[in-house]
Structures are given as C-alpha cells and as structure tokens.
Structure 1
Amino acid sequence: MFRGRLRRGLEAVECLAGGLGTALAAAALVVAFAISGALCVVGIGVPLTRSLLGAVGGLAERERERLARWGHDVPAPEASDGGPRRLAWLVGHSTLGLATGLMGALLPVLALRDLTFPLWWRAVPDGEAGASLGFPVDTWPQACGVGGLGAAWLAVTVAGGPALARLQALPAVRLLGRPSPSDAYRRIAELSATRAAALHAHAAELRRIERALHDGAQNRLVGVVVLAGVAERALDRDPDAAREAITRVQEAARDALRDLRGLVRGILPPVVESRGLDGALDALAAHCPVPCTLEVLLPGGCPVALEATAYFVVAEALTNVARHSAATRAAVCVRREANRLLVVVRDDGRGGAAPCEGSGLDGVRRRVEAHDGRLTLNSPPGGPTVLEAELPCES
C-alpha cells in the first residue's frame, strides 16, 4: 500500500515538473503580451500580437498532449470558441500552474536534502549547517531532527503530490477542452420536465374549468332557462305561480353568477389584479379561520403570473391549515430576494401533510414547477408544517 502511494506521489512530482515547464512558457507569453500591448499604443505591436496568439495555440496543444500522457482527456474545443478560453488558460497556468509546479519541484528537493542531512552535516564548516527551514544545527540530536523533518517533507510529497497535480491540470481541463455537456444535458432534462409539468398543469386546469362549467354554471343556467319557461307559461293562467317561478329564476341566476365568479377567480384572482399581491394575501389571511400573521416584502414587485401562483400557493396552504391541521396559529411570509420569490407558510398543527397525486398540494406543486420553481413541504407527524415555494423572478 505504501509502495503504491509512493509511486503515485513520484509520478505526481514528475507531472508537476512537466507542468512547470509549460507554466514558465505561459508566464513568458503573458509578459510578451504585456509588451505587445504597450507597443500597440504606438502602432507596431499588432504583428507581434498575432504571432503570440499562434504561440499560445501551440503551447495549449503541447499542454493537452502532456496531460493526455497523465490520464487527462482534454479534447480541443471548437475553433470558434477556443481563442478566449486559451487566453484564460494562459493566465491561469502562468499563475496557478507555476505555483503548483514550483511546489512540486521544491518538495522532493527539501525531502532529499533533510533526509540525507545527518550523513553530511559534519562536512559543513562550523556554524553554517542548518535545516531547510533555516534553523541552525550544532549537535547530533538536532541533525537527527532534521532527518525527521526530511521524512515529513517526503510524506507531504507523497500525500499532497497527486492533489497538486490535479490542481495544476485544472485550468487546462476546464478551459482547453470542450465544455462538458453534462450541465447542459441536466438543464435540458430539467426544462423538459418542467415543460411537461406545465403542459400537464394546463391540461388539468382545462379539465377543471370544463367540469366546473358543466357541473356548475351550465346546469344552473339550464335551470334558469327551464324556470323562465315555467314562469312564461304560468304568467297568464296563474300569476302567483309565475311570481314564484320568477323568484326561483333570480335565485338560480345568482347561483350561476356565483359559480362563474368562483371559476374566474380560480383562473386569475381579480383581487390580485385590483389590490396587488399584498392586498390579496391580506384578504386571505383575514378570512382564514386560524389566526394568521402575514409578512409581504416585494421591493420592485413581480410579474402578475408569479403573483397569481404565489396567491394560489398561500390559498391552498391556508385551506389545508383550516381543514386538516388542527393548528392554533399560522404565519405567511412572502418576500423577494434578488431574482427569486419566496413563499413560506407555517402552522403549528399536527403535521403529516403530503402532496399526494391529485390533491390540491399536488396541483400547487405543478403550478410552481411550471415556472421552473421548486416546492418543498416539511410536515413531520406532530408538526409543525412548513410549506415553501421558490419561484424564479427575473424582472
């Protein structure tokens, strides 16, 4: 096991030494670019800059080949985006690569010097012998202590060499190769999922509206038509029955209007449009059967679609608090932090809430994810329950 670590440490030192060579070349190119920039002011530095750019490309290719020998796959990027990335690598390698390369070259030298110090320190003139850290050595115990220090340098070399080698290779891996597709793939997968959730939420919303119209307002309007016909037929032969039918027509019409208002309120709450999110939430908190405190901090406001979603989150959460939680108090906090809108609803109820399939909380989750947001629910048995929605808010 120790032999394997020693071998990897020595290989790392060799890798660092090779990187030191390209780092010194990178530092020289950085200095040359500075001189070229100064010459460009007087109009004679442009040809030199072009030559330096070609040299950067050659040095980057040499660094790719060097790292490939040590197991790093650094495929060349597309020609269209390689230039700026190569210049960024040049700066990084001339600083970080140079520093790690010097450390990688210095550590084994210090280890060899101090490990062998007890063998030759007596050959040094009196008063001039000393450890690598600078303290003087006059006795054999001190000389043996320097040997122990050399062992410590060797341990640092073996243990830290591979990490230094990876750190030295980092600018090249990040900047000289093609951008890793994993982040883009992950983001595409997330967008595909949220798009599917948005479409699902849209379809579910259309089905809800259709059911509400068919089972509610449409049936009531049919009743209005039927009762109006009854009143018309009874108008001549039985005025009292006609008046009773007209009264029932009015009641059915009011019920139909109430259903339509509720349906419209479920699509885009008019109270949000007319009073803003803070006023709409204030009305929700005031009508909640459970005592509820409200805090709204929205500097600059938010898009109306986000405000409507935040309203629905709070409305559904407070409905669940009133119906299922047995809570004695609740708290709502809606605030904007930079480019996100946070909605937090807490209660001191019995907990155990879960957004099961088809539930109101599941619908709220789909609404939030349709905005590329995130809904989290923490509701352990015994409570408390904390519902938090995080919505991107760029404008």
Structure 2
Amino acid sequence: MAIRDTAADERGDERGKNRGGEPDAGLKDVVVRALGAAGGAVGQLASGLGTALLALLVLALLAVTAVTSLAGVGLLMVPAVLGALHALAGRERARLARYGPEVVAPDPPPMRLRSALVDSTTRRELRWLVRHATLGLLLGLIGVLLPLVAVRDSVFPLLWPFAPEDATATSLGFGTAQSWPEALAVSLLGVGWIAIILGLTPGMARLQAGPGRRLLAAGPDTDLSLRIAELTSTRAAALDAHATELRRIERSLHDGTQNRLVTVTVLLGAARRQVARDPAGADELLERAQSAAEQALAELRTVSRSILPPVLADRGLAGALSGLAAECAVPCRTDVEAPERCAASVEATAYFVVAEALTNIAKHSGAGQAAVTVRARGGRLHLRVEDDGRGEAGGTSQAIGTGGENGGSGLTGIRRRVAAHDGTLRLTSPAGGPTTLEVDLPCGS
C-alpha cells in the first residue's frame, strides 16, 4: 500500500510540474497550427483582393461594352474584353493552385461574340467574375483590414500618451480614452480582433476561393482529349524516369560495388597464395581486402538508400528533410507541416527533389542561406525550396544552380519525378535572386 501511495504522489508531482512548467505539447501544436492557418488565410485573402480589384475593372469594362454595343461601337471592344476575362480567369486559377489543389483549365474559350454567348466556359467565367468582384472583393478587404485594426487597437496604450485629447480611441471610430484604464480597454478590443482573425479568416478564405474552384474548373461537358493526352505524357515520363533510375542503379553497382568486390576477390586469392611463404605480405593483402570490402559495403548502402531512403520510414518526411538540411553546406531551415503521411513514393519524390535542389544550391548558387517549406493539405503535398543566391537559375532552362535542363540531372530529373506523379513544378529565379522552386504533388494513398 505504501508503494502504491508513493507512486500516486509521484504522479501528482508530475501533474503539478506539468501545470507549473512548460505548456502541454498538444496545446502548443494547436496554437501553432491556428496561427499558421490564420496567417495563410490572411495571405490568401490579400492575394484574392488583387484579383478581385481586377475583376471589378473587367466587370466595368464589360458593362461599358454591353451599353456601347447597342450603338455598334462596343462590338469592336468585344475581343479585347473577352481576352481580359480569360486572362484574369487564368490568373485566378494559378492563384488558387498556390493555396490548394490545381484548378484544371478547360479548353481555350472562343474570342468571337456569337460563339462566346453560347460557350459554357465563358458563361461560367462571367458568373465567377460577378461573384469575385463583389463577395470576393468584400472578403479581401476585410482580410486586409482585420490585421491592421488588430495591431492598431492592441498597441493603442503605447500610442495613447502621444495622441491628441479628442482623438478617437478605437479603430471602429467611436470612443475616447481619458485615462489608462480606458486605453487598456481599447487593447482588449485588439485581442478580440485577433480572436476573430484566428477563428474566421480560414473560413473567409475558403468562401472567397469557392466560386473560383467551382466555376473556373473544367466542366463535365469539357472535351477530355487534352486530359487523356496529358495523362499519356505523364505515364511516358514515369516510365522514362523509372528506366533512368534503373540505369543509374545498374551503373552504380557495376562501376562501384562490383569493382570493389572484384578487388576483394583478387586480394584474397593473392593472400591465400602468400600465407605460407610470406605471412607479413599476406597480412597486408588481407588488410587491403578488408578495406575494399568495407568500401563496397558503404557503396552498396548508398545505392540501397537512393532507391528508397530508410530514413523516411524511420523518421517520416519531416525528420528526413531535417537531416538533409543539417548535411547541406549552406545554412538551411525547414518548416514541415504534414499531419498525415503521404504515399511512400510521393514522400520519396519529395525527398529526392529537396536533396537535388539543396545539392545544387550548395554547389552553384552562391547562396548564404536556404529554406525548405512543406505543407500537406487538401490531398496535395506542396513543396517549396528557396535560396538567396545569384538567381538566373532556369532562365535558360536551368535548374537551381545546375547546368540546364538538357544536362540529364537538375531540373530534368526533378521534372520527370514530379511528372510521374502527375504533379506540377514551377521555378522562379530572377537575376540577383532569390530562386524559388515550387512542387505540388498528390498525396496518394
């Protein structure tokens, strides 16, 4: 009984330490995820505000064109306005793809008025335009203003001593602060704004993106021949990538491990013949054979790890990428948020993409630091590798710091691996940097 009571006391002490010590790890994760989701949602709303303003402009041009077409003058503007509508829709598809699953574009819509009036794609784009120029614009404005008013009200007690006596205290435009308690009360309003940002902005971002994802995607009546051709192309790329990988493994085994094992066999044979007449020489040969066997074993392990790195199964994608960052010659930070595991082949592709990118950054970019960001959401794995190097990687079909897409490695190898999973790859590298490689992969099952 005494032992049982002592154990209970120890558990009570542990609970006391947990209450008085560091916050629970689960609570930390919840807070970090909430902050990350709110920050991403605010960024998405802000980017949506940009396209919403353009949508409002295009909508105004459409109205002017419709009115002036009654006199015949507006008919000359129809091709330009339709072109602006389709270009803006394409820009919105690209924006949505940065924050979630790719929005597959339908067939190119017609540019003539008579054909456009009966075209389903154009009608869907017009419906999206009206909604994005109204509801999307409103949500974007709220998403941009909420952080501003939250910061303004939260820090008001610091600004209050320097404000005029009749200055409005709150960001809502009413009330004045005549004392410190009143100024501190305004900061509580700022805390309320922060709570609203954390609770509502993710839903607002989804509400803003909803019409685009529904109306700008290829409809059920869209010709699937382009999609079939794309899948055929990606299947061919997958087969090519598989054949290239087999050739690489065969070359590594033939040129490395096999030669080491041949050396071991030759040295062992020579040592066996010398063991009777020259024991010292035989011992030297055995030592060389042991060294060659150890090198062959190391090379064999390297080849086996290149097929499917065991670190992915042992530590997961986050741990594997942290290991790559730690081994990189350029200081590299990782930010991985993947609550659920993806298919093993998808994680392996993400691992090799990061490994190739970091290797080339260290060798060729002249960067002072790099960053790897991974997000898994909506059934997609989003991968982003950045560096602050000299840039111009990919300007002439180059990968990050490599010699070009025709070099066999670099961007070509990465692109083939990504295409094998029906993923997408984007490379941005202006002169002077920074260089950003973005890869989007389906998580698989």
1:270 aligns with 2:310: yes
Aligned partner of 1:339 among 369, 374, 379: 379
Find the aligned partners of 1:207 and 1:287 in 2 and give their Cα distance: 27
Q: Distance in 2 between matches of 1:71 and 1:314?
A: 46
Aligned residue number for residue 370 of structure 2? 330
* Cα separation, partners in 2 of 1:325 and 1:72, compared to 1, 3 Å: closer
C-alpha RMSD of matched pairs (Å):
2.6
Distance (whole Å) between structure 2 residues aligned to residue 375 and residue 250 of structure 1: 45
| 1:382 correspondence with 2:426 | no
Take 1:72 and 1:368, find their aligned partners in 2: how far apart are those partners? 36
**Alignment-mate amino acid for residue 295 of structure 2:** D
Assess if the C-alpha contact under 8 Å between 2:257 and 2:300 holds in 1: yes
The answer to whether the 8 A contact 2:346-2:444 is kept is: no
- CA drift of 1:361 comes to 2.5
Offset, 1:6:
5.5
- Secondary structure, in 3 states, of the residue corresponding to 2:376? strand
Aligned to 2:229: 189
1:255-277 CA-to-partner distances (Å, cap 9, x unmatched) read 11111111111110111121111
For residue 272 of structure 2, the aligned residue among 217, 227, 232 is: 232
State the alpha-carbon separation in 1 of the partners of residues 426 and 418 from structure 2. 10
Amino acid at match of 1:369: A
Matches within 5 A, 1:66-81: none
Q: For residues 128-160 of structure 1, what are the alpha-carbon distances to aligned partners after superposition, in whole Å with 9 as ceiling and x for unaligned?
A: xxxxxxxxxxxxxxxxxxxxxxxxxxxxxxxxx
Work out which of the two has the higher radius of gyration on C-alpha atoms and give 1 or 2. 1
| Residue number among 293, 297, 311 corresponding to 2:351 in the alignment | 311
Q: What one-letter code is carried by the residue in structure 1 that aligns with 2:249?
A: I
Secondary structure, counterpart of 2:275 in structure 1: helix
Contact conserved, 2:309 with 2:348, CA < 8 A, in 1? yes
Q: Structure 2 length as normaliser, TM-score?
A: 0.49
Does residue 302 (structure 1) correspond to residue 374 (structure 2)? The answer is no
Q: 1:375 to 1:5 in 2, by over 3 A?
A: closer
CA distance, structure 2, for counterparts of residue 241 and residue 72 of structure 1:
89
Please give the residue correspondences for 1:21-36 in structure 2 after superposition, counting only pairs within 5 Å: none
Q: In the alignment, which residue of structure 2 is the partner of 1:222?
A: 262
Counterparts of 2:308 and 2:409 in 1: how far apart (Å)?
20
C-alpha separation in 1, matches of 2:115 and 2:262? 77
Is 1:252 the counterpart of 2:272? The answer is no
Whole-Å separation in 2 of the counterparts to 1:393 and 1:327: 31
Q: Take 2:324 and 2:338, find their aligned partners in 1: how far apart are those partners?
A: 17
Name the amino acid aligned to 1:220. Answer: R
SS of aligned partner of 2:276 = helix
| 1:237 alignment partner, SS class | coil
Q: 1:71 to 1:244 in 2, by over 3 A?
A: closer
Shift in Å, 1:7: 9.9
Structure 1 residue 302 displacement after superposition: 1.2
Deviation per CA, 1:96-135: give whole Å up to 9, x if none. Answer: 9xxxxxxxxxxxxxxxxxxxxxxxxxxxxxxxxxxxxxxx
Letter paired with 1:368: V
Instruction: Give the aligned residue type for 1:377.
Output: L
Partner residue of 2:283?
A: 243
TM-score by length of structure 1 reads: 0.55
> In the TM superposition, what are the counterparts of 1:112-261 in structure 2 within 5 Å?
180=221, 182=223, 184-261=224-301
- Taking the aligned partners of 2:222 and 2:69, their CA distance within structure 1 comes to 33
How many residue pairs get aligned? The number is: 230
Give the CA deviation at 1:180: 3.9
